[in-house]
Chain A
Amino acid sequence: MADPLLNVQNLTMDFGGLRALDHVNIDIQQNEIIALIGPNGAGKTTFFNCITGIYTPTGGDILITAPLRSGAASKTERINGLKPNQVTEKGMARTFQNIRLFPNMTVLENVMIGRHCRTRSGILGAVLRNHTMVREEQAVVDASYQILEKIGLSRFVNDLAKNLPYGAQRRLEIARALATEPFLLLLDEPAAGMNPHETLELDTLITRIRNEEKVSILLIEHDMKLVMSLSDRIFVMDYGKKIAQGTPEEIRNNPMVIKAYLGEECDVES
């Protein structure tokens, strides 16, 4: 098997005396959809924050092997301590539990910001407006349109992001993350607050992104129906530790997982 896209080894994160992540190991192969589940406070979002550069982990290694477009194997890099924008440049994009669009910008502009790190022109280009610069700007607009079309948001192009219906805002977040050309998309509770119909649409959308865009996906989700239908493999966390991993079928029947979610049977007599 090729090197995993993302290989997290012994990741540890301490906040003062509190160990939020305790030697967590997770690997993601190319074209996989992986779910990260666990009770509230298990450290799932902290895990996301560590691998996207918002926190600098206290210990462990985060290794990425970005696939090259040509298909050739590329080298493995350690990305601990990089800034969030550098992590994005390496090819990992994320969304948040709550919606974090730029509310006062249009849908198109929101996506164009995502292209930001893939273009070169700086302030001087903006002032001088030379030929390359104009062409590059047009290319950004075109690419952004294409993404919106794929995600099914093309009719909202010029609306302000804050005026979109909830489900569409959620999809716009995914579109914006895709605009950074990631090889791995990290979704933090993408179905939160969605009705069953919207969740179903999300299910198809995520599968389509994996199949058509060749982007691997790591998602945190509480909607078990969605998790079980989407995921190739599942990792389960509790109290900052990874307690189980496996296929949906294995996880469903794992006593450790059931214990983490439902609590232990307590023995009254002892």
Chain B
Amino acid sequence: MEYFLELFMGGLTRGSIYALIALGYTMVYGIIELINFAHGEIYMIGAFTALITASVLAVMGVHQFAIMAIAMLAAIVYSSAYGFTVEKIAYKPLRHAPRLSPLISAIGMSIFLQNYVLLAQTSDFLPFPSLIPDFKFLEPYSNYLRPTELVILLTTAVVMVFLTLLIKFTKIGKAMRATAQDRTMAMLLGVNVNRVISTTFVIGSALAAIGGVLIASHIGQINFFIGFIAGIKAFTAAVLGGIGSIPGAVLGSFILGLTESFATGYVSSDYEDVFAFALLVLILIFRPGGLLGKSTTQKV
């Protein structure tokens, strides 16, 4: 039972991180129908920013909590700036181009950012400081719930509630939904669509940065390639749940996280990806639009 719980918590943790990244994919897709392949790199840049900030602050002898907060904030700001800039450079000029062009541009951006970090930093795995302290009250449960896991779960929950409220009730949220449903009409009603798209990239990037910092301090090491793997997994989760749907991305992420965790625990860690992608194939056979996605009928 304890082993099951350990795997379950591990799965939820993975799922949370996937969800934080998958939201960026699905929100951008919902608005401009583009798979932003550079999104995983934004997450990686978030982790690197936090590492650099934390190292500097640690040398200065700042308190652990302060390091955590400042590093997280720095990662969010820096990653958002990257997300904003990537959109302006790589996607905005291609707004009216055929759909394949921005896709290729996105892949190019992803390769560029990976290699940029590889050259500017290093190709080795770097140790990431454990930014999250050991909580005393967690000791009795330490077999299946580590402090980092608790922090990841709580942070993700708070972020999701916040995002839901933002999209449902605020002006920018309404503008985002309107733009997703009919961009031209939104423009004709005076919505500044470019600003809405930028905001979407900034929000998505901020979420990815939070995910990057959390997972890095959970696993304890990072390199320039983590964004690629995490990006592919989160993208899978978004498709699984129905790309373009926000609740879908969250659901897909948790399903993917739990499947991987149980496959690792009960079968073998070698089969982790096999199970994950077999599940994706199965779901797409029976529900091509994803779990919560719209099934579109072609009009003739």
A residues in contact (CB < 8 Å) with B: 52, 54, 83-85, 87-89, 93-94, 96, 100, 102-105, 109, 112-114, 116-119, 121-123, 126-127, 137, 140, 176-177, 179-180
Contact = CB atoms under 8 A, between A and B. Distances in A.
A179 B190 CA distance: 10
Is chain B's interface secondary structure helix, strand, loop, or mixed overall? helix
Contacts of B202: 123
Interface string B167-183: 00011111101100110
A54 B185 CA distance: 10
Interface stretch (B59-67, B191-199, B264-272): B191-199
A84 B175 contact: no
Identify the 6 closest CB pairs spanning chains A and B, nearest first: A117-B190, A126-B170, A88-B190, A84-B187, A102-B181, A100-B185
Contact of A113 (B166, B170, B178, B184): B178
Most A C-beta atoms less than 10 A away, residue of B177, B189, B193: B189
Interface of B: 166, 170-175, 177-178, 181-182, 184-193, 199, 202
A118 B193 CA distance: 15
A126 B173 contact: yes
Nearest to A180: B190
A117 to B, nearest CB: 3
A102 B256 CA distance: 32
Given A85-B188, A100-B182, A116 B173 contact: no
A85 B190 contact: yes
Given A93-B188, A105-B174, A126-B170, 10 more contacts: A89-B190, A102-B182, A103-B181, A113-B189, A114-B189, A116-B171, A122-B172, A123-B172, A123-B202, A137-B171
Contacts of B192: 85, 117
A121 B172 CA distance: 9
A243 to B, nearest CB: 28
B189 A104 contact: no
B215 to A, nearest CB: 25
A150 B136 CA distance: 62
B189 A180 contact: yes
B184 A54 contact: yes
A175 B190 CA distance: 14
Contacts of B170: 126
* Residue from A84, A88, A127 whose CB has the most chain B CB atoms within 10 Å: A84
Contacts of B199: 123
A122 B173 CA distance: 11
